[in-house]
Amino acid sequence: MQNHLENLAQYCAKLCVIECCGLDACDFSPIHIASYCLSREPRYPLRVANEIIEQAKSLKANYGSKGASAHGVKINEINERLSDQRVDKLAETLEQQTTLAIAILDTEKTDDRHPVLVWDRQPNS
Protein backbone atom coordinates (compact mmCIF):
# COMPACT_ATOMS: atom_id res chain seq x y z
CA MET A 1 0.00 0.00 0.00
CA GLN A 2 1.28 3.45 -0.91
CA ASN A 3 1.66 6.29 1.54
CA HIS A 4 -1.17 8.30 0.02
CA LEU A 5 -1.16 11.15 2.52
CA GLU A 6 2.19 12.54 1.43
CA ASN A 7 1.50 11.92 -2.25
CA LEU A 8 -1.98 13.43 -1.95
CA ALA A 9 -0.56 16.56 -0.35
CA GLN A 10 1.93 16.91 -3.21
CA TYR A 11 -0.84 16.35 -5.76
CA CYS A 12 -3.21 18.84 -4.14
CA ALA A 13 -0.62 21.62 -3.83
CA LYS A 14 -2.50 24.02 -6.10
CA LEU A 15 -2.10 27.34 -4.29
CA CYS A 16 1.69 27.39 -3.95
CA VAL A 17 4.53 24.89 -3.89
CA ILE A 18 4.33 22.64 -0.89
CA GLU A 19 8.02 23.06 -0.05
CA CYS A 20 7.31 26.75 0.53
CA CYS A 21 3.92 26.88 2.25
CA GLY A 22 3.43 23.33 3.52
CA LEU A 23 -0.17 22.19 3.81
CA ASP A 24 -1.40 25.76 3.33
CA ALA A 25 -0.57 25.23 -0.36
CA CYS A 26 -3.03 22.35 -0.62
CA ASP A 27 -6.57 22.36 -1.91
CA PHE A 28 -8.11 19.18 -0.54
CA SER A 29 -11.40 19.66 -2.34
CA PRO A 30 -13.24 16.45 -3.28
CA ILE A 31 -12.61 16.92 -7.01
CA HIS A 32 -8.84 17.04 -6.47
CA ILE A 33 -8.96 13.97 -4.24
CA ALA A 34 -11.09 12.11 -6.80
CA SER A 35 -8.63 13.10 -9.52
CA TYR A 36 -5.73 11.85 -7.39
CA CYS A 37 -7.49 8.51 -6.86
CA LEU A 38 -8.04 8.13 -10.60
CA SER A 39 -4.43 9.03 -11.35
CA ARG A 40 -3.14 6.35 -8.95
CA GLU A 41 -5.51 3.52 -9.84
CA PRO A 42 -7.71 4.25 -12.88
CA ARG A 43 -9.57 0.95 -12.65
CA TYR A 44 -10.07 0.94 -8.88
CA PRO A 45 -10.10 4.55 -7.64
CA LEU A 46 -12.45 3.71 -4.75
CA ARG A 47 -9.78 1.42 -3.34
CA VAL A 48 -7.37 4.37 -3.21
CA ALA A 49 -10.01 6.58 -1.61
CA ASN A 50 -10.63 4.02 1.12
CA GLU A 51 -6.88 3.72 1.73
CA ILE A 52 -6.69 7.51 2.15
CA ILE A 53 -9.43 7.38 4.77
CA GLU A 54 -7.70 4.55 6.63
CA GLN A 55 -4.35 6.35 6.53
CA ALA A 56 -5.97 9.55 7.82
CA LYS A 57 -7.52 7.60 10.71
CA SER A 58 -4.16 6.02 11.44
CA LEU A 59 -2.43 9.43 11.40
CA LYS A 60 -4.95 10.73 13.92
CA ALA A 61 -4.70 7.61 16.08
CA ASN A 62 -0.91 7.84 16.21
CA TYR A 63 -0.24 11.60 16.32
CA GLY A 64 -3.55 13.31 17.11
CA SER A 65 -4.63 14.77 20.45
CA LYS A 66 -5.90 11.39 21.70
CA GLY A 67 -3.28 9.35 19.89
CA ALA A 68 -0.46 7.18 21.09
CA SER A 69 2.08 9.99 20.74
CA ALA A 70 -0.20 13.03 21.21
CA HIS A 71 2.73 15.29 20.37
CA GLY A 72 1.97 15.97 16.73
CA VAL A 73 4.33 15.15 13.91
CA LYS A 74 6.96 16.73 11.70
CA ILE A 75 6.81 15.85 8.00
CA ASN A 76 9.99 17.06 6.31
CA GLU A 77 8.86 16.09 2.79
CA ILE A 78 6.08 18.67 2.87
CA ASN A 79 7.77 21.23 5.12
CA GLU A 80 5.24 20.89 7.88
CA ARG A 81 5.20 20.57 11.66
CA LEU A 82 1.73 19.66 12.90
CA SER A 83 0.56 19.99 16.48
CA ASP A 84 -1.70 17.25 17.78
CA GLN A 85 -4.76 19.48 17.24
CA ARG A 86 -3.71 20.25 13.67
CA VAL A 87 -3.24 16.51 13.03
CA ASP A 88 -6.83 16.02 14.23
CA LYS A 89 -8.10 18.74 11.90
CA LEU A 90 -6.11 17.45 8.90
CA ALA A 91 -7.27 13.86 9.44
CA GLU A 92 -10.90 14.91 9.86
CA THR A 93 -10.73 17.11 6.75
CA LEU A 94 -9.20 14.32 4.69
CA GLU A 95 -11.83 11.85 5.87
CA GLN A 96 -14.71 14.23 5.08
CA GLN A 97 -13.37 15.38 1.73
CA THR A 98 -12.45 11.85 0.65
CA THR A 99 -15.94 10.65 1.51
CA LEU A 100 -17.28 13.34 -0.81
CA ALA A 101 -14.73 12.29 -3.45
CA ILE A 102 -16.06 8.74 -3.21
CA ALA A 103 -19.49 10.07 -4.14
CA ILE A 104 -17.95 11.70 -7.21
CA LEU A 105 -16.07 8.57 -8.19
CA ASP A 106 -19.12 6.40 -7.65
CA THR A 107 -21.03 8.35 -10.32
CA GLU A 108 -18.33 7.74 -12.90
CA LYS A 109 -19.46 4.21 -13.71
CA THR A 110 -19.67 2.99 -17.28
CA ASP A 111 -23.01 2.26 -18.87
CA ASP A 112 -21.95 -1.22 -20.08
CA ARG A 113 -21.68 -0.24 -23.74
CA HIS A 114 -18.87 -1.80 -25.68
CA PRO A 115 -16.89 0.60 -27.82
CA VAL A 116 -17.10 0.20 -31.58
CA LEU A 117 -13.76 0.89 -33.15
CA VAL A 118 -13.81 2.67 -36.49
CA TRP A 119 -11.42 0.24 -38.14
CA ASP A 120 -13.62 -2.74 -37.14
CA ARG A 121 -16.50 -1.54 -39.30
CA GLN A 122 -16.84 -3.11 -42.69
CA PRO A 123 -17.91 -0.79 -45.52
CA ASN A 124 -21.38 -1.45 -46.89
CA SER A 125 -21.28 -2.64 -50.49
pLDDT score at 112: 56
Q: How many helices (H) and strands (E) does the chain have?
A: 5, 2
Between 44 and 2, the more confident residue is 44
Question: For 12-60, how does the pLDDT look when each residue is reduced to its tens digit (9 = 90+)?
Answer: 999 988 888 888 999 999 999 999 999 998 889 999 999 999 999 999 9
pLDDT at 117 over 70: no
Residues in the chain: 125
Q: Is 105 left (phi over 0), alpha (psi -120 to 50) or beta?
A: alpha
Sketch the domain layout of the chain as residue ranges: 4-109
Closest CA to 83 of 74, 95, 94: 74
